[in-house]
Amino acid sequence: MSLGVNDLVDELNSLKADFSKTVDRMIKDTKRQEKIMLRSDKRQQKEYDELQLRLNEVEALSKEVEETQREVVFTMGAIGESRSKETGNHVKRVALYSELFALYYGLDAKEAEMLKQASPMHDIGKVAIPDAILNKPARFTPEEFEKMKEHAVLGYDMLKFSQRPLLKMAATVAYEHHEKWNGSGYPRGTSGEDIHIYGRITAIADVFDALGSARVYKPAWEDEKIFTLFREERGKHFDPKLIDIFFEYLDEFLEIRNSLKDV
């Protein structure tokens, strides 16, 4: 009986020893695996940090490219206007009017912002119009007016091949900002909602600013005269909805004009 107990004790001690060895081995394996994982985590963290740095550099470069593109678009628009003896404030005002119209018309903020950036290019085609016509201090002859009208197509042709969204929008603006709601505009005589909303918006923004500004061929109009014309041209020259927006938010349009007066 005693021997049997001793044998059982010996067997239990043997099992205990084997268990301890197994546990020790598992602990060593776990610690080794932990070290491997830590090294792997550090390597992965380093790779992640390097990737994040590259992504940040790409994002910064992309923003720089976009900002440069906006500056180029605005500068080209200002050049087009300076050919006709106009100030840079004209394109700034038209840009802000266009953004305001776009937002109240229902375009989203991103699209409205892009239209603000593109609208200064509306008259870029004027760079190809002779000075004698562009700055004539009197009414155009029929032949001169036909030549002047070419600036819409010329501007479109300058921009139409670009695949950049901003310049594609600017091409549309240049091409369609002289179309009229009733189809009597140019260059194609498009009417109603067949005229792109970018063209319809820039048209009213440009006319509002042009009428209220002194030009080589005319003095600035009084506000009431402009307002009367806009009411008369609702559904003729201009999109009726845009005319309604103009009068509903008139104070905001006047605030923009007053904040960027010509000097």
pLDDT of residue 61: 62
Judge whether 63 counts as a catalytic residue.
Answer: no
Q: What is the pLDDT of residues 195-240, one digit of tens each?
A: 999 999 999 999 999 999 887 778 899 999 999 999 999 999 999 9
Confidence of residue 82 (pLDDT cuts 50, 70, 90): low
The pLDDT tens digits for 124-141 are 888 888 888 888 888 899
DSSP 196: -
The chain-wide mean pLDDT, for the chain, equals: 85
Report the b/e string of 53-77 with b at 16+ CB within 10 A.
eeeeeeeeeeeeeeeebbeebbebb
Q: Token digits for 98?
A: 């266009």
Widest pairwise Cα distance in the chain: 133
Place of tokens 């009428």: 211
- The structural domains of the chain, with segments of one domain joined by +, span 72-259
Taking 60 as the threshold, does the pLDDT of residue 7 lie above it? yes
Estimate the share of the chain in helix, then strand, then coil, as percent rounded to the nearest 5.
75, 0, 25
Which fold is adopted by the domain 72-259?
A: Hypothetical protein af1432 (1.10.3210)
202, two tokens = 């820039």
Catalytic residue among 31, 63, 116, 126: 126
The pLDDT of residue 1 is 45
Question: CA 61 to CA 253: how far, in whole Å?
Answer: 35
Q: What is the CB-side half-sphere exposure of residue 115 using CA atoms within 13 A?
A: 29
The tens digit of pLDDT for each residue in 90-108 reads: 889 999 999 999 999 999 9
How many H-runs (helices) and E-runs (strands) does the chain carry?
10, 0
As a whole number of angstroms, the distance between CA 128 and CA 139 comes to: 20
